[in-house]
């Protein structure tokens, strides 16, 4: 027990001596723990303060835009346009039909061949008509002979009647026979003429001048009366058959000049509105419009698809912006403006659009003096500081506002 107490006392003495040495050397000061903690806290506070200042500095950095990245609304005229499309058709189209039944002996033209009106292009074999012509020619000669005989008989009867060798009734019968012979001759002549007309139908002649578009029959085939044999088109004048809505038809009139873009051609073709249908089509509420296109060189072809554009003059100066400056969020058009050194998003109401010039009419939302961002940028924030600087100090704008993106 006595040994244990002596060991405890020795340990306490060593501890007191260590504390004294520390105080003497200045490593540990009275209340030193609190002082060290306070200094550490102060240093940490200084570091946090610097970080906070840096964050505030970053928040206060203004976005810089070069002059080409901002625009002001400009007054401009915006001609309207009415567009409609459709296929090209050849209004002068003729169909050659067989006027009699028979075998198609020959057809001397094919698709793409040029023909003239009245040109013989084929022939149909009409063997039965040829025999009928011979038969009716013989009937005509027989009727002519019968008439000559009736005339002689009647002349003889008249002389006998004057000498009172025959009765008046016999003379009347002779006169009736003469009239009958004359009628029979006329009937035979008419029958022969009719048969000859049918024989002429065996020759196929082009109804109009133009180009053969399609052959409907081949040599050797049997054809019947009124069967199509050839389709011929005249390409000197073509028409575009399109439709427009009932809300647009009042803006166009017959005779108005239009530009027609035909598929396969780089340059538009000038044309004029020829006709406008008097009534809308049931169900679609669209109205037919026909545009006439001169095609003297026949470079255009029927069936090609074309788009017609009728320009409408505008006499009003309108406030406009580039289409690239206008964004849309949830159906609401808007632009970004710089006001009092800060960014602000302004809702606008747009009117006419001009896709060719890339401009949009602004009806409300901005003034002519507004400074508007010319393109749509990412990461823009309402109220952020912004300013327009010279082009040589522009790098910040490109970094702060990234690549334009439609929003």
d(Cα 397, Cα 65) in Å, to the nearest integer? Answer: 5
Residue 379 lies in a domain: yes
Mean residue pLDDT of the chain comes to 80
Q: What is the pLDDT of residue 8?
A: 43
168-185 tens-digit pLDDT: 788 788 888 888 988 998
The answer as to whether 254 is a domain residue is yes
Mean pLDDT of 130-135: 78
269 and 344 share one domain = no
Q: Is the residue at 34 inside a domain?
A: yes
| Co-location of 305 and 324 in the same domain | no
**Which residue among 289, 312, 335 closes a domain?**
312
Is the same domain home to 250 and 346? no
The pLDDT of residue 127 is: 67
Q: Are 105 and 199 in a shared domain?
A: yes
- In this prediction, residue 165 has a pLDDT band, given cuts at 50, 70 and 90, of confident
What is the residue whose two structure tokens read 């004057």? 162
327 and 390 belong to one structural domain:
yes
Instruction: Compute the distance between CA of residue 374 and CA of residue 72 in angstroms, rounded to an integer.
Output: 9
The whole-angstrom separation of Cα 96 and Cα 90 is 16
Q: Are 73 and 293 in contact (CB under 8 A)?
A: no
Q: Which residues of 226-255 are buried (b: 16+ CB within 10 A; e: fewer)?
A: eeebbbbbbbeebbbbbbbeeebbeebeee
Q: What whole-number distance in Å separates Cα of residue 45 and Cα of residue 396?
A: 32
- Lowest mean pLDDT of 23-27, 58-62, 93-97, 345-349, name the range: 23-27
Q: Provide mean pLDDT across the span 239-247.
A: 91
> What is the residue range of 349's domain?
63-78+316-400
Has residue 218 been placed in a domain? no
212 within domain boundaries: no
Give kind and range of the element (H or E) at residue 149.
helix 127-162
Number of structural domains in the chain? 4
**Whether residue 369 sits in one domain with residue 381:** yes
What percent of the chain stands above pLDDT 70? 80
pLDDT greater at residue 192 or residue 210? 210
User: Are 53 and 37 within one domain?
Assistant: yes
- Domain membership of residue 87 (yes or no) is no
Are 108 and 174 members of one domain? yes
Are 344 and 306 in a shared domain?
no
Is 226 inside a domain boundary?
A: no
Which CATH number characterizes residue 372's domain?
A: 2.40.420.20
């Amino acid at each position: 027990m006595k040994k244990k107490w002596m060991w405890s006392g020795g340990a306490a003495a060593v501890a007191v001596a260590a504390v004294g040495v520390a105080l003497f050397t200045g490593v540990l000061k009275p209340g030193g723990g609190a002082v060290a903690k306070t200094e550490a806290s102060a240093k940490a506070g200084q570091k946090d303060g610097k970080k906070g200042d840096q964050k505030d500095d970053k928040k206060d950095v203004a976005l810089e835009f070069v002059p080409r990245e901002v625009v002001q609304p400009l007054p401009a005229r915006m001609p309207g346009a009415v567009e409609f499309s459709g296929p090209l058709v050849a209004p002068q189209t003729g169909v050659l039909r067989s006027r009699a039944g028979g075998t198609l002996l020959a057809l001397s033209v094919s698709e793409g061949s040029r023909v003239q009106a009245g040109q013989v292009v084929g022939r149909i074999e009409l063997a039965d008509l040829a025999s009928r012509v011979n038969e009716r020619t013989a009937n005509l000669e027989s009727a002519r002979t019968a008439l000559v005989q009736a005339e002689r008989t009647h002349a003889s009867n008249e002389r006998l009647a004057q000498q009172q060798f025959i009765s008046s009734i016999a003379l009347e019968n002779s006169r009736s026979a003469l009239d009958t012979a004359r009628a029979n001759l006329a009937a035979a002549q008419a029958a022969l003429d009719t048969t000859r007309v049918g024989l002429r139908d065996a020759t196929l002649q082009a109804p109009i001048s133009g180009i053969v578009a399609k052959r409907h029959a081949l040599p050797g085939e049997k054809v019947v009366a009124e069967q199509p044999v050839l389709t011929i088109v005249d390409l000197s004048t073509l028409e575009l058959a399109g439709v427009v809505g009932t809300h647009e038809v009042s803006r166009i009139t017959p005779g108005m000049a239009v530009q027609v873009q035909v598929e396969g051609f780089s340059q538009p073709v000038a044309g004029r509105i020829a006709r406008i249908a008097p009534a809308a089509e049931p169900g679609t509420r669209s109205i037919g419009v026909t545009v006439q296109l001169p095609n003297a060189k026949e470079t255009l072809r029927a069936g090609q698809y074309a788009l017609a554009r009728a320009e409408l003059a505008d006499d009003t100066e309108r406030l406009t912006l580039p289409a690239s400056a206008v964004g849309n969020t949830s159906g609401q058009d808007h632009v970004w403006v710089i006001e009092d050194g800060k960014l602000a998003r302004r809702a606008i109401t747009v009117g006419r659009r001009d896709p060719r010039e890339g401009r949009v009419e602004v009806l409300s939302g901005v003034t002519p003096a507004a400074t508007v961002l010319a393109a749509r940028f990412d990461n823009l924030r309402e109220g952020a500081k912004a300013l327009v600087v010279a082009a040589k100090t522009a790098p910040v704008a490109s970094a702060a506002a990234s690549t334009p993106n439609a929003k």
